[in-house]
Structure 1
Amino acid sequence: MGFNHQSQKKINSVIGRFAPSPTGPLHFGSLVAAVASYLAAKTQNNGKWFLRIEDVDTQREQPGASQSIIQTLESFGFAWDGDILFQSEQTERYQTALERISDHIYPCSCTRKYLQSLSDISTYGYLYPGICRNGINNPDIQNPSIRVKTNKQEICFQDLCQPHVIGQSIEQEIGDFILKRRDGLFAYQLAVVVDDAFQEINQVVRGSDILDNTPRQIFLQQLLGYPQLEYLHFPTAVTADGKKLSKQNHSPPVLTDNDSSDKKMESLLASLEFLGQNPPKRSNLESINDLWKWAFQHWDNDKIPKVMTKPTKFT
C-alpha cells in the first residue's frame, strides 16, 4: 500500500494547537512555539487554538510540570479554546486506532539493545530492518512492541516555512516504526496523529527539530483515513554554540515565581523578534495586552525566517 504527496486544500478556518510535554517548565524555545502556533491560528478568521499536554510517556513526566506549564501560559496572556486535552486520558482512543489498522501492524520482540548491535544506522537513528515483519523473532518474549509496516513510497509535503518540498522514504530511512511500546505505553507518533484528528487540528506549527517526524505522521494519517494537515516548521532556537534549547540540555525556565511583568514582556518581545515579526520597542508598550494587540494586528507567517536553526541570546 503506497502513499504519495497530496495537494492541500486552502484552509478556511485555522485550528491549531500547542502541545508541550510535561518534562519540566517551559523554556524560551517552548515559548516561541506557543507564540508562533497561537498567532498563526488566532489571527485568522474564526481561528482556534487548543492546548494539549503530551503526557503519553508517563515515565518522563516531571511531577507538577503540567500545572506549571498551564500557569505560565496563563501568566503570559494566552487564551486557549475548549478544555485542555491530556494524552494520558486518551489511551482507549489510541487502542481503537491501532485496531483499525490491524492488517498493517505486527508484534516485535527486538529490544533496543539488540537493534543497537546491528550495523544498519540511518540519519535518524537505528534503521529497523524488518526482523519480525514476517513472524516474531522471539515468540517467548513477554509483551512485544507493536510496529507498523512501512513501504517504499516516498512521503512528500510542502512546509509553510521551510523553502523546499520535504520528502522521506520511511521504509529506507526509518524502517517499520513502533506504535506501542513493550511497556504498554503508546508511541508519540500514533498519539499525536490520533489527537490531531480528534481535535480537528488542520495546521501544526512547531520547531524544525520535529520536522523529520512529519512524514511518519502523514503516513499514519493516510493509513487511518485522516485528513492531511498543513505544517509550518519554524527555526529551532539554539545557543551560540549550536545547542538546542531544551529541557534535556537544562535550558532555564522562561518564567519563575519572582519574575516581574517586565520580564514577561521581554520574553514575549524576544519571541516575536526571533520569529521575524519586528515588534515595537519596549518603551512604546504599556502592558502585555498592548503587545498582544500589536501582535494580532501585525502577525505574518511569511516573515518567519526560512532556516532550520537560529541562535538566540535569550536563554
Structure 2
Amino acid sequence: MRSLHSPHVSTPTASRPYRGRFAPSPTGDLHFGSLLAAFGSWLLARHAQGTWLVRVEDLDPPREVAGAAERQLRTLAAFGLHSDEPVLRQSERGAHYRAALERLLASGAAFACHCSRSELAEAGGIHRHCVSGPRPGREPAIRLRVADGSVVAYDDAIRGPQSQDVAREVGDVVLRRADGYWAYQLAVVVDDAEQAISDVVRGADLLDSTPRQILLQRALGLPTPRYAHLPLVLDGAGRKLSKSDAALPVDAERPLPALAAAWRALGQDPAVLHGAGTVAELLARSQSGFDPGRIAAAPTIALGEF
C-alpha cells in the first residue's frame, strides 16, 4: 500500500484531523464484502488515531430492503464496530442536497436535462449535449455540466496515480434523477464535506466514481479528501457480492471467524490474531498489529479464498 500521507493531486488535506467513514446502502444485510470495507476503513482510522463514522446511504427507496439499515447497524455492533458519532442518514438530508443543487444551478454549473435513457443510449450513452427538449408532465433530471477536456487526476493511497477524462468517459453527471431522487454523487460529496471527512476508504467498485466526485467538490468549492480503494470481493463467477447469490449475510452470532477472514483479506498477518477469544480482544490485537503497507493493490479477491 502507498503511504496514506502521499501527496494528493487535488486539494491537500494533510493538515486536517483524520476522519473516515463507512457508508452502506440498505439494499440487504451486510455480506463479507461490506464487512471488509467496514473493517478496513475502521482499521485505517484507528491506525491514524482518527475518528470513524457510519453513514446510512438510504437514497434509493425502490432498491431498499425493509429493515436492512437497522440490521446492518446491529451487525456492525456485534462486530464491535461502533460509529464514534451519531449515525447520519441521507434520507433525512434532502434540504442540504437541495441547497447545494441550487448553488450549482445559480452558477450555471448544473442544468436541467429532459433526455431519456433510451434517447441517450441511441446517442452513445454519454451525455455531452441534450438530445431532447422539455415535455409536458415529465420532470427533468439535473446534471453537472462537465466541460470538454475535464481530466481529473488523483493519487489513490492503495492503487497509486489515477486519471479519468470525465467528459469523454462519463459525460455530464446526474445530480438529481428525473424521478425526484437525489443522485449518490451529489449526496456523498455534500455529506463528506459536512462531516469533515479527510479520508474516504471504500471498495474498488467505487474507484470510477471518484473523479466525478472531485469535479463536483471543485464546483461547490469543497475540500477533496484523500482516497483509498480496498480490494473488491467477488464470487466464483466473478460477480460483485452485492449482485451475487453468494452474498450471504455475515453471521452476527459468530463474529470472530468473519473478522479473522476480513483481516486476512486485507493482507494482514494471521498470527497477530491467534488466540483472540472475544471481539474486544481481536479488535485490540488488530489495532496494535495492523500494517497498512500489507493491503494488496490487487482490485479483487475471490470469496472462495476465505
Q: TM-score, normalised on structure 1?
A: 0.89
**Corresponding position: 1:127 with 2:126:** yes
- For 1:98 and 1:288, locate their aligned partners in 2 and report how far apart those are by CA, in whole Å: 43
User: 2:64 — aligned with what?
Assistant: 61
Question: Which of residues 7, 12, 20 is equivalent to 1:8?
Answer: 12
SS in 1 for 2:179: coil
> 1:99-138 maps to which residues of 2 (within 5 A)?
99-102=102-105, 103-118=108-123, 120=124, 126-131=125-130, 137-138=133-134
Partners in 2 of 1:280 and 1:12 — Cα distance?
34
The answer to whether the 8 Å contact 2:231/2:298 transfers is: yes
The separation in 2 between residues aligned to 1:298 and 1:12, in whole angstroms, is: 25
SS of the residue aligned with 2:152? strand
Opposite residue 109 of structure 1, the aligned amino acid is H
Structure 1 runs (4+) greater than 6 angstroms displaced: none
Q: Does structure 2 conserve the Cα–Cα contact (< 8 Å) formed by 1:54 and 1:87? A: yes
Pairs aligned (count): 296
Letter in 2 for 1:73: L
Deviation of 1:285 (Å): 1.6
> Which structure has the highest helix share of the two?
2
Alignment of 1:65-104 (within 5 A): 65-102=68-105, 103-104=108-109
Tell me the distance in 2 between the aligned counterparts of 1:62 and 1:37: 24
Say if 1:274 and 1:312, in contact at 8 Å, map to a contact too.
no
Q: Deviations over 1:64-98 (max 9, x none)?
A: 00100000000111121111100000000000000
1: CA distance, partners of 2:216 / 2:274: 48
Matched, 1:153 2:150: yes
Can you list the C-alpha shifts for 1:30-60, whole angstroms capped at 9, x where unaligned?
Answer: 0000001111112223x10111000011111
The unaligned stretches of length 5 or more in structure 1 are 121-125
Q: Sequence identity of aligned pairs in percent?
A: 37
1:203 aligns with one of 175, 194, 199: 199
Alignment check: 8 A CA contact 1:180 1:187 kept: yes
The unaligned stretches of length 5 or more in structure 2 are 1-7
> Which residue of 2 is the match for residue 123 of structure 1?
none
Match of 2:48 in 1: 44
Q: Could you tell me which amino acid in structure 1 is paired with residue 129 of structure 2?
A: G
Query: Does the 8 Å CA contact 1:279/1:295 hold for their aligned counterparts?
Result: no
Give the corresponding residue for 1:276.
267
- Structure 1 pair 248–127 and aligned structure 2 pair: CA distance change class (3 A): farther
| CA distance in structure 1 between the partners assigned to 2:130 and 2:82 by the alignment | 47
The Cα offsets for residues 244-267 of structure 1, whole Å up to 9 and x where unpaired, read as 2115555100125xx3xxx31110
Deviations 1:107-142 (A, max 9, x none): 111111222233x2xxxxx3123126xxx6234352
8 A Cα contact 1:24 1:247, kept in partner = no
Distance 1:53 1:12 in 2: 24
Structure 1's 57 and 266: CA in aligned 2 closer, same or farther, altered over 3 A?
same
Cα drift, residue 224 of structure 1: 0.4
Deviation of 1:8 (Å) = 2.6
Partner of 1:190: 186
1:23/1:247 contact within 8 Å kept:
no
Shift of 1:234: 1.1
Q: Partner of 2:3 in structure 1?
A: none
| Alpha-carbon distance, 1:200 to partner | 0.6
The normalised TM-score by structure 2 is 0.91
Distance 1:8 1:50 in 2: 21
